[in-house]
Structure 1
Amino acid sequence: MIALPALCAAQFMIALDYSIIYVALPTIATELSMTEASAQWIASAYAIFFAGFLLVGGRLADRFGTRRAFVLASVLFGVFSLLGGFAQNDALLLIARGGQGISAALLQPAVLGLLSATFDGIARARAVAVWGAVGASGLAVGVVLGGVLTAVDWRWTLLINVPIAAVAIVGAILGFAKTGKVQGRAPIPLLGAAAGTVALLSSVFLLTIVAEARPDPALLTTALVVALVSGTAFLIHERTGARPLIDRAIRKVRTIRLGSVATAFYMASVGAEFYLVTLLLQQVHGYAPLMAGLGFLPLAALVTIGNMVAGRLIPRFTSPRVLFAGFAISAAGLALLALTGTVSSYAAGVLPGLLLSGFGHGVVYTSMFSLGTSRIPSGLEGGAGAVLTTSQYLSSAVSVAILTIVLAAAPAELRFLSAFAVTTAFALAGMGVAIVARRDVKTEVTH
């Protein structure tokens, strides 16, 4: 069947593009004369535009058809990847990264919508497990591939998306000829989308300014005011508007709400690990980009194994139980990295934490989406998928900004201990979400 490989190719590209840039950041910053605080925008530009436009992307996918949205988004992703690959300055690169984020925002809901509409029952559970394994593996493989490609030329970290996008496009045309029906013609709430996106951008920009050694008071005040005003406008629009960005039927589904919180804690814990380990290996251990990328190989392998294990365990133990175990293992791995990550030996200091957190990462990724997509209302697959992924990548942009602040504020000898301690706390919070979700499952079974 061509359908599942096409969905996996698209998901791999979305995940890959998030993490592949991390190892290349120091090289790009040096070549384009960017500070460490401003260079984090190369990663955040993708995540924040992704998160900011996901809800609109979900609405567009539901309105015009998930197959059409899938093909168009894949084309745009390839075009912006080409633009970024040939960018000659930081401004053009950031524009390209933002364009990739917007393309991903249209593509991700279409992927989730097609996944929900194409597969059902046991076949759906298996498809989600395979798709989840590919998505989480894309995040892990991204940092490995990023190191290899940066050793050749960092521009290949963007150009690599072009052939993957081509595979996804061909697969969609051949595999989804009779799927992705239009769900309605209601206007897209652009006002709410604009307010929400501005709120997200200004909030992350505010955190970036705080991370600077000498924050500009005028910029700081402006960003704070814009964030507060736009955030308030978005909340009012969602509460009182005739056409809210998040469909009210979606808001009522508790599994989607819990899944969204779980994705946020996932991205703030093991998802943020890519950023920290990249800096740890290059700044503390002195690894070149190629060696730093290869240093992630054990993590990539354990993420894949964790996904496979979770796919087998969820039908037997339910997704909340597996999610709890995944976050617990992730917390243990991140705590170990906090304590031993700066030890001179990679094998003794970094590897044990990578193995534990990598396995937990894979388990969490599959189980959180299994939980979040378990009761999606018919016809709202794209919008519901957008809510889950918005939470994921909004958390990514905010957590990277927070970790940048922590790294800058902590004493030199405690920088990484403090930063990994923050990610550990988020993993522990994820365990709490799993406990709440488990109680809900028990209640439903009882009644």
Structure 2
Amino acid sequence: MIIRRPSAPAATLAVLSVAQFLIALDYSIIYIALPSIAADLYLAPSLAPWVVSAYAVLFAGFLVVGGRLTDRIGAKRLFVAAIVAFGAASAVGGAAQDGAVLLAARGAQGLGAALLKPAVLALIGTTFPASPARGRALAVWGSVGASGLAAGAILGGLLTSASWRLTFVINVPLTLLCALGAALFVRPARETSPAARTPVLASLLGTGTVLTLVLALTLGPGEGWSATSTLVCLGLALLFLAAFLRGEATSRTVLVEPVLRRIASLRIGAAATALYMASVGSEFYLLTLLLQSLKGYTPLDAGLAFLPLAVMVTAGSAAAGRAVRRTGPATVLVAGFALAAAGLLWISLALAGDSYAVDLLPGLLLSGFGHGAIYTSMFIIGTHDVPAAQQGTAGALLTTSQYLSGAVTVAVLTLALGPSPDDARFRIAFWLTTGAAAAGGALVAARRHRVGANPPYRAVASRKRQSAGPRRQGRVNEGRPSNC
């Protein structure tokens, strides 16, 4: 019996998709486990959200460093090193006996993910040249990522019912699988930039800005907005921000290269990823608290309640992959934000009801489908016009925007909910996420002429393939930017 080895692009995409699933899973799986972690390790209510934020801030703060390292030393090398580091941090988190160790492990996970994510995006960019093939690869990758965010909530409920530590331990075999798959199937990227400098100082200043801002938002409600600790954090945030902006204007080693600042699709994609995270990207956090803290669901019941949402996220992402090829990514992204806003608004108006099927389920279905559509199309837009050699850095910028927004949004939502959230507090929090989704749709609709609003050149490419013959079929439009 002959076992055929999978083609290099297909096998590479499979490995990268598992890595993306792992990154997304690890961010959302922690939500349902959060109450159990806080109770077991005696974390104060103001400190518990840092189990989420420690990951998000370190992840976002060093993504561009990861992107530059990807472009400098090679995506495959960084991928293997980062996935191993991520697995080691997960093992430490699973064994943690106090809050300090756990938060340090979460930060280390975020740092590992910051190196891993741009390596994944760079390998997609170099394995699939600018063409409809890249759009299809990103659609698959986006579908897996969106599924990982939703599946994390379900697995979080199932695993937390046994032990919250399993939400960390589950990462270890997945990281080993990715490392092995990369060694066997992933080819090194051909384009690297050995002369590129790594903006470590800029990343430290940017991370410090967000870290101190989130810390100030955490301390403000409890210590008081005029307390010394709160004012010191706000002052440091302003100081770090000023130093960061000055460095970007005058330094040779900047975080965002001038050539990337001029790419309209990247700017709009970064704004879309930020508003995505401020809307449906933070829905998991709110729903977890709503179901467990307000409605008294067990972790398992809460996980099962997320099942329809998970199914619709996957369905929305798959549908978006097909729709992008017919209508263009901007149209899909606007529609996704509109559905997300409708679903979040429904939940905000019906959350006081006692019936899950009548009050919550319709909103979960709408927001879940919109979530999947947004997640797939926003990365297609963001990487649309970026050269292959800078795919790693561009992908890092998109995800930096996403997770910095996530860290700040969690702090703002925690502030809106207060120490003892009730129906009115949750309604305000859901209104905030609804507003973010509406803003995302309005932004992309206003700029759609600059981000591939027209359908892709599917018909043109098809005619060229027919005239080019079978030998050149895979090289049609290679190196040109596509509309998907």
Same fold, judged at TM 0.5 (above): yes
> Per the alignment, in what secondary structure is the counterpart of residue 193 of structure 2?
coil
Residue identity matched to 1:63: R
One of 301, 326, 336 as aligned partner of 2:311:
301
Match of 1:238 in 2: 248
In structure 2, C-alpha distance between the alignment counterparts of 1:58 and 1:442, rounded to whole Å: 25
Residue identity matched to 1:100: Q
Residue identity matched to 2:93: G
In structure 1, C-alpha distance between the alignment counterparts of 2:431 and 2:190, rounded to whole Å: 44
In structure 2, C-alpha distance between the alignment counterparts of 1:215 and 1:37, rounded to whole Å: 14
Contact in 2 for aligned 1:85/1:156 (Cα 8 Å): yes
In structure 2, C-alpha distance between the alignment counterparts of 1:389 and 1:309, rounded to whole Å: 22
Write out aligned runs for 1:373-388 (5 A): 373-388=383-398
Structure 1 vs Structure 2 CA RMSD:
1.6
CA deviations on 1:55-95 (whole Å, 9 max, x unpaired) are 11111111110111111100000000000000000000000
Match of 1:74 in 2: 83
Match of 2:112 in 1: 103
Structure with higher Rg: it is 2
Residue identity matched to 1:103: G
Match of 1:49 in 2: 58
Match of 1:428 in 2: 438
One of 189, 197, 205 as aligned partner of 1:187:
197
Match of 1:2 in 2: 11
- What TM-score, normalized by structure 1, do the two folds share? 0.97
Contact in 1 for aligned 2:328/2:452 (Cα 8 Å): no
1:253 counterpart = 2:281: no
Contact in 1 for aligned 2:338/2:370 (Cα 8 Å): yes
1:175 counterpart = 2:185: yes
> Per the alignment, in what secondary structure is the counterpart of residue 38 of structure 1?
coil
Residue identity matched to 1:348: V
Contact in 2 for aligned 1:302/1:359 (Cα 8 Å): yes
In structure 2, C-alpha distance between the alignment counterparts of 1:441 and 1:268, rounded to whole Å: 21
> Per the alignment, in what secondary structure is the counterpart of residue 212 of structure 1?
helix
Contact in 1 for aligned 2:74/2:188 (Cα 8 Å): no
Classify 1:31/1:123 alpha carbon distance in 2 versus 1 (closer, same or farther; 3 Å). Answer: same
Match of 1:372 in 2: 382
Contact in 1 for aligned 2:327/2:453 (Cα 8 Å): no
Match of 1:394 in 2: 404
Classify 1:379/1:313 alpha carbon distance in 2 versus 1 (closer, same or farther; 3 Å). Answer: same
In structure 1, C-alpha distance between the alignment counterparts of 2:17 and 2:453, rounded to whole Å: 34
Contact in 1 for aligned 2:76/2:123 (Cα 8 Å): yes
Gaps of 5+ in 2: 1-9, 456-484
Match of 2:101 in 1: 92
Match of 2:22 in 1: 13
Contact in 2 for aligned 1:209/1:216 (Cα 8 Å): no
Write out aligned runs for 1:45-444 (5 A): 45-120=54-129, 121-179=131-189, 181-212=191-222, 214=224, 217-408=227-418, 412-441=422-451
In structure 1, C-alpha distance between the alignment counterparts of 2:132 and 2:443, rounded to whole Å: 26
1:444 is displaced (CA, Å) by 9.4
1:324 is displaced (CA, Å) by 0.3
CA deviations on 1:263-299 (whole Å, 9 max, x unpaired) are 0000000000000000111112210111111110000
Gaps of 5+ in 1: none
In structure 2, C-alpha distance between the alignment counterparts of 1:442 and 1:118, rounded to whole Å: 22
Contact in 1 for aligned 2:332/2:374 (Cα 8 Å): yes
Contact in 1 for aligned 2:67/2:393 (Cα 8 Å): yes
Classify 1:356/1:214 alpha carbon distance in 2 versus 1 (closer, same or farther; 3 Å). Answer: same
1:143 is displaced (CA, Å) by 0.6
Contact in 2 for aligned 1:284/1:342 (Cα 8 Å): no
CA deviations on 1:313-332 (whole Å, 9 max, x unpaired) are 00111111110000000000
- What TM-score, normalized by structure 2, do the two folds share? 0.89
Classify 1:416/1:180 alpha carbon distance in 2 versus 1 (closer, same or farther; 3 Å). Answer: farther
1:124 is displaced (CA, Å) by 1.3
